[in-house]
Chains A and B, each alone.
Chain A
Amino acid sequence: MSKTKKKILFVITLVVLIIFMVPFFILVNNTFKPTGEFIKTPFALPKNFTLENYTVAIDRMNFWKALYNTAFITILTVVFNMLVGSMTGYFFARKKWKVNKIVFGSFLASMVAPFQVYMIPLVRIYAGKFGLSNNLLMVVYIAVGLNLPFAVFLYKGFTEGIPEELDEAARIDGCGFTRTFFRIIMPLLKPIIITVTVFVAMGVWNDYLMSSLFLTKTHTKTLAIAIKTFLTNHSAEYSPMMAGLLLGILPMLAFYLIGQKYIIEGVVAGSVKG
């Protein structure tokens, strides 16, 4: 392509990107206006600049508590999923026993099902029979389980690419199965750990449907649920609502700006699972 053509294409792409981002510009701009001003002039810059919308939103949403709950669930889910997923992936990759093949096959088959299939039974079993509503750890447990098949699938595939001679060398040096995994194999899994972790973390952090079925009390709500409640229950506080939405975006956005390469890779890894 010639230089002029490239320049034209650059300008076109830039214009498209700006159009793409318009919803965010409108959002950010209006969080600094009183609601009345937003209704009258949603596109103009703030005339009566205010930060009050943020204080209102933080208060109404119980923002800090919701942020804490979201982080708590996400971090624990990611850690357990990584530990259990990588150990199982290694186990399935190295021990081709019949039972392992059956279990792994069942894991794979279950990846096809949408969450809607588990939704009603999960509520019935965990919230109903066991009475574990509003228990953050229970949400962690379910999130770990729902994300396991995919994690094991990726860890197993990656481990199979690590030569078994490494395991044998470790065994000759006196390492057992467990020690070989933690000392030799796990450090080599770093790239795939990042991919899986990002994928699981994004899914759990942004999850609304699953957690909303279990977390109904103010002190257990995650960000997505707190925002939903705030926007449904307060009918006319538009500017604080938009401030709430922006507050909900900021943590993820900060994370994205730091590790965008890994995040794009991790999120898209979900698409190659077929």
Chain B
Amino acid sequence: MAKNFGKKIKNIGIFAGFGLPATIIWASVVLIPFIYGIWITFTDWNGLAIDINYVGVQNYLEVFTDSTFVTAFFKTVIYAFFTVIASNLVGFLLALAVTSGIKGQSFFRTGFFTPNIIGGIILGYIWNFIFSYALTTFGKSIGVEWMSTSWLTHPTRALIALIIVSSWQMSGYLMVIYIAGLTNVPKELLEAAYVDGASGFQVVRRVKLPLIKNSTAICIFLSISRTFMSFDMNLSLTAGGPYKSTELIAYKIYQTAFTSMEFGKGQAQAIVLFVIVAIISLLQVYFTRKGVDEQ
């Protein structure tokens, strides 16, 4: 009895030292804000008013009836669709190239990965200069009309610019994940395929691709959720413009909350984004686990 009691005290001590700090920090930065955030969505709080009124599900209804949010959502879907395809395609091809046994493979990896060590704010601004000044000067000098004016002042081209820059950054990131998959493909299998007379393309299509299914699933889901959360580059490259035509969801939430000061509505939009990202993550877990079982 006394021994048990002593052990209990000791366990409480261990919990206080090892478990409690993390739990407190996490609860105060993650859990409580999350619950508080859900409460905010049921109010009309604008950050200034002293009396805060409950408005029920009004904010959520407004999310779906607000045409600017619906537009932001569809713009995000278009942006995500093209960025995911382009970055995965380029990332995979780069991975194939730098695992093929050519010289300087690790040099190439380091090089292609470089954009990922720099913050999206800075990258967006660098490209802003390219699109606004460098490209236009080039366009004028060779007399091409669609390159003579800045892409960032044209709604469709601004979105294309966003897709190009995001794909440029993300492909080096995805490349590393594809490399991890490709280096796990057994060498004997590849040799056997070549002995049987398979072409390089056939080896990629019939041997490598089926064996890296897991990496592919990770890359695709990862790029989808990253594109849906994209904010920094949206801010520094296009700032949602021209005429709010390139506002993606995450940027729209920020605008609703901190420019229009509609906190309840902004938080409701954030919850919608949360649900989208959560579904993507759960699908990822489901598909990658399944992939593991199959192998």
Does A228 lie within 8 Å of B121, measured CB to CB? yes
Does A267 lie within 8 Å of B173, measured CB to CB? yes
Asked if A249 is at the interface (CB within 8 A of a chain B CB), the reply is yes
Asked if A148 is at the interface (CB within 8 A of a chain B CB), the reply is yes
Sorting the interface of chain A by its residue count into under 10, 10 to 19, 20 to 34 or 35 or more gives 35 or more
Q: With the chains together, A69 CA to B119 CA distance in Å?
A: 16
Q: With the chains together, A26 CA to B134 CA distance in Å?
A: 8
Does B37 lie within 8 Å of A249, measured CB to CB? no
Q: With the chains together, A241 CA to B34 CA distance in Å?
A: 38
Does B25 lie within 8 Å of A248, measured CB to CB? no
Instruction: State how many angstroms separate the Cβ of B150 from the closest Cβ of chain A.
Output: 13
Q: With the chains together, A206 CA to B115 CA distance in Å?
A: 12
Q: With the chains together, A120 CA to B278 CA distance in Å?
A: 19
B236 contacts which chain A residues (CB < 8 A)? 228, 231
A21 contacts which chain B residues (CB < 8 A)? 111, 114
A6 contacts which chain B residues (CB < 8 A)? 100-103
* Interface bits A48-67 vs B (CB < 8 Å: 1, else 0): 00000000000000000000
Interfacial residues of chain B within 88-130, with CB under 8 A of chain A in the complex: 94, 97-98, 100-104, 108-114, 116-122, 125-127, 129-130
Interfacial residues of chain A within 217-274, with CB under 8 A of chain B in the complex: 224, 227-228, 231, 238, 241-242, 245, 248-249, 252-253, 255-256, 260, 263-264, 267-268, 271-272, 274
Asked if B6 is at the interface (CB within 8 A of a chain A CB), the reply is no
Q: With the chains together, A14 CA to B200 CA distance in Å?
A: 20
User: What are 21 of the A-B contact pairs (CB < 8 Å)?
Assistant: A9-B100, A14-B108, A20-B168, A26-B134, A30-B129, A43-B134, A91-B18, A100-B19, A110-B26, A114-B228, A125-B36, A177-B14, A209-B232, A213-B258, A228-B235, A238-B133, A241-B125, A245-B125, A264-B113, A268-B176, A271-B222
Q: List residues of chain A with CB under 8 Å of any chain B CB.
A: 1, 6, 9-10, 12-14, 16-17, 20-21, 23-24, 26-27, 30, 38-43, 84-85, 87-88, 90-92, 95, 99-100, 103, 106-107, 110, 112-122, 124-125, 141-142, 144-146, 148-149, 152, 177-178, 181, 202, 205-209, 213, 224, 227-228, 231, 238, 241-242, 245, 248-249, 252-253, 255-256, 260, 263-264, 267-268, 271-272, 274
